[in-house]
Chain A
Amino acid sequence: MSMRDAFASTMDEAMAVDPRLALVLADISVDRVRPVQRRHPNRVINVGIREQLLVGVAGGLALSGMRPVVHTFASFLVERPFEQVKLDLGHQGVGAVLVSSGASYDMSYAGRTHQSPGDVALMDSLPGWTVHVPGHPAEARRLLCESLPGDSSVYLRLSEAVNAEPFIGVGFQALRRGSAGVVLAVGPMLDRVLAATATLDVTVLYASTVRPFDAAGLRAAVDASSANVVLVEPYLAGTSAHQVAEALDDRPHRLRSLGVRRDREVRIYGGMADHDVAHGLDEQGIAASVRAFLGR
């Protein structure tokens, strides 16, 4: 089961018991939720290929007292209607659960138009958003279930890239302890980070929630190891660098940020693994970067 499948089945269960929930779509994934739409025709809304309206409708639903869950590809959910996210939700003082799929380059063959490595950085420019980056469908389901009650603003970033096992926990979880530094693996980056650092004496932290940023967890890990931090994020490199700087603002530290490269647009097709290599986010690329940073 993919994260998208987990999303559809979880919404089916949740909408059956919570009459506040409304699911808003813009043609993407409509086929996956047909049965839900048949059961709740007034609460599953497909606006067609109209992404500004997708988010505007979510804002209106929230203003009327409903709890909107909004879904399409990340590029069309965050980038194209970004002003609607900023104004129709945040500025109105209402929340929504935005659930994207496609991530940075899940649609590796589709080219730049369907790739959204800047989504978390964009959401990070707005106040008050929780950002979840699950690494496994079971995590996606758990994080979605946590997000549905209340009125908070949540961005849930689904991906085809997954780890072998889910890690259900709160805050940054230490999966390995070492003395030479701390490697923070976000969501789908975990398995390759564990493999890349298998022979290194480093602490590996895992995060499926990046906003709020678990500053206390990072500080504790650094205090028990060394103030050499490597961020490994599946979106734009350095998206969380400012959070690391704030978390360690009273500790001399070094930081290396790995992620989707900022210096140029990678104009290739091919598979996700090809893009991993192009961005240095494959196991070998991560291993080389961490070793170079730690001088080992």
Chain B
Amino acid sequence: MTTTATGYHELPRLIGLMTGDEKHAAAATSTVDVLWVLYDRVLDISPRKIGDPRRDRFLLSKGHGPMAYYAVLAAKGFIREADLLGWAGVESKLGMHPDRVRVPGVEISSGSLGHGLGLAIGEVYGLRAQRIGARVVVLVGDAELDEGSNHEAIALAGREGMAALTAVVVDNRSASHGWPGGIGRRFEVEGWTARTVDGRDHEALYEAFTAPHPGRPLAVIAEVEAKN
């Protein structure tokens, strides 16, 4: 849909600059397709809009394994390709967990699980108070949902009918005790619209992110191959 100098097919090479193993590391990265669809087709953000209060926000709550995130940021021009080399080294601004103070375009510093949804809800409140109609998308992992803080957040966002909020749960079945009945059900019972799709299918992801969900926050459960 959107033409860019560096596209989806470039991501394995960019990830390889960090991991040194482009074929396997890229395929094993559970978030890469979700991130690409969001940055390429869904979100109204660009390197030129980093400081624009009306920009859409993407919050990577699951901060570990950020190689795909950095690769997408590089592909979209937020950071330089050269930044990927030597990542997590003492001279790099790219760490094993992203730091918003150091990386242009990174909306939150994450790493400890269970913080992104609460921050996202605060952003939605803040944008609402300022009459800014931007969208806030937060990515969490299925194991991250174990953290109780998420359930404080899911309940409140549902009750507030925060249509500006989207939570995308990348589900690689890594939660130790699982989510019987499905992850989407946890959101629906609190008043969210939930859509469960193939997390590798770009068209399905795009449709899930963009179909209307008036008066309700949206949960997209992006299922990918199991971690183990």
Contact = CB atoms under 8 A, between A and B. Distances in A.
A63 B123 CA distance: 7
Given A64-B130, A66-B129, A59 B122 contact: yes
Interface string B103-141: 000011100101101111111111111101000000000
B100 interface: yes
B177 to A, nearest CB: 20
A77 interface: no
A68 B122 CA distance: 10
Interface string B20-57: 00000000000000000000000000000000010000
Contacts of A83: 112
B130 A65 contact: yes
Contacts of B101: 92-93
A93 B106 CA distance: 12
Contact of B148 (A52, A58, A64, A68): A52
Interface stretch (B80-88, B149-157, B183-191, B192-200): B149-157
Interface residues of A, number: 30
Interface size on B, as a range, is 20 to 34
A251 interface: no
Contacts of A60: 118-126
Contact of B118 (A52, A64, A93): A52
Interface in A83-108: 83-84, 87-88, 91-93
Interface string B168-179: 000000000000
Nearest to B132: A64
Contact of A22 (B115, B118, B125): B125
Given A92-B100, A92-B108, A56 B127 contact: no
Contact of A61 (B117, B123, B155): B123
A113 interface: no
Nearest to B129: A42
B149 A53 contact: yes
A47 B152 CA distance: 9
Interface string A44-71: 0101101011011111111111101000
Contact of B123 (A45, A48, A53, A64): A64
A275 interface: no
A279 interface: no
5 smallest CB-CB distances across A and B, nearest first, come from A60-B122, A56-B118, A64-B126, A57-B122, A50-B152
A24 to B, nearest CB: 8
A22 B126 contact: yes
7 contacts: A42-B129, A57-B119, A62-B122, A63-B123, A64-B123, A68-B122, A87-B109
Contact of B115 (A48, A62, A87, A93): A87
Contacts of A92: 100-101, 108-109, 119
A70 to B, nearest CB: 10
Interface in B51-79: 53
A57 B112 contact: no
Contacts of B132: 64
A91 B119 CA distance: 12
A63 B118 contact: no
Contacts of A84: 115, 118, 149
Interface string A71-85: 000000000000110
A141 interface: no
A88 B130 CA distance: 21
A149 to B, nearest CB: 17
Contact of B125 (A45, A48, A87): A45
Nearest to B119: A60
